[in-house]
Amino acid sequence: MKMARKLAADREGSAAIEFAIAVPVLVLFMWGIFQMAIVYRANAGMQHALGEAARHATIFPTPADSEIQSRITSGKFGLDNGTWSTPTITTNTVAKTKVIEVTYSQPTDFLFFQGPTVTLTRSKLVYLST
């Protein structure tokens, strides 16, 4: 009885147990922040690639759609563990515009479980020179 009361009052080692409970949660949150940073980096890469393609589409004479698509493909950057779709280019000859659209899918991994695949779609309206 005396020994059980002495053990119940003993606080030695409680910090180690609290640390062991808190560390996996902290690591999961830090890894989640890292995964979201990968998605934001992919978003920045999409914006950069669309900007390069838009600048290329405005030169005179207007380049072919395949040239604009290759500009987008070469302008992307990131960790390359996601999937880029083939860019779509829609031309409006009446308004003399092009709409350039690209889609990127980024899988997420949260260490203990597989996260959702984040799909980003961006488009840019480009006015063509006459």
Q: What is the DSSP string of 42-106?
A: HHHHHHHHHHHHHHHHTSSSPPPHHHHHHHHHHH--S-S-SEEPPPEEEEETTTTEEEEEEEEEE
pLDDT at 7 over 70: no
Check if the beta carbon of residue 99 is closer than 8 Å to that of residue 49.
no
Which position has the higher pLDDT, 15 or 22? 22
The residues spanned by each domain of the chain are: 2-127
pTM: 0.76
Check if the beta carbon of residue 72 is closer than 8 Å to that of residue 57.
no
- Categorize the per-residue pLDDT at 77 as very low, low, confident or very high, splitting at 50, 70 and 90: low
Check if the beta carbon of residue 7 is closer than 8 Å to that of residue 76.
no
What are the tens digits of pLDDT across the range 24-47?
Answer: 999 989 998 999 998 899 899 889
The answer for 96, left when phi > 0, alpha when psi is -120 to 50, beta otherwise, is left
> Cα–Cα distances in Å, from 74 out to 40, 50, 55, 69, 106?
19, 11, 14, 9, 18
At 65 the pLDDT is 93
- Categorize the per-residue pLDDT at 4 as very low, low, confident or very high, splitting at 50, 70 and 90: confident
pLDDT at 125 over 70: yes
At 129 the pLDDT is 80
- Average pLDDT of span 40-57: 90
What share of the chain in percent tops pLDDT 70? 93
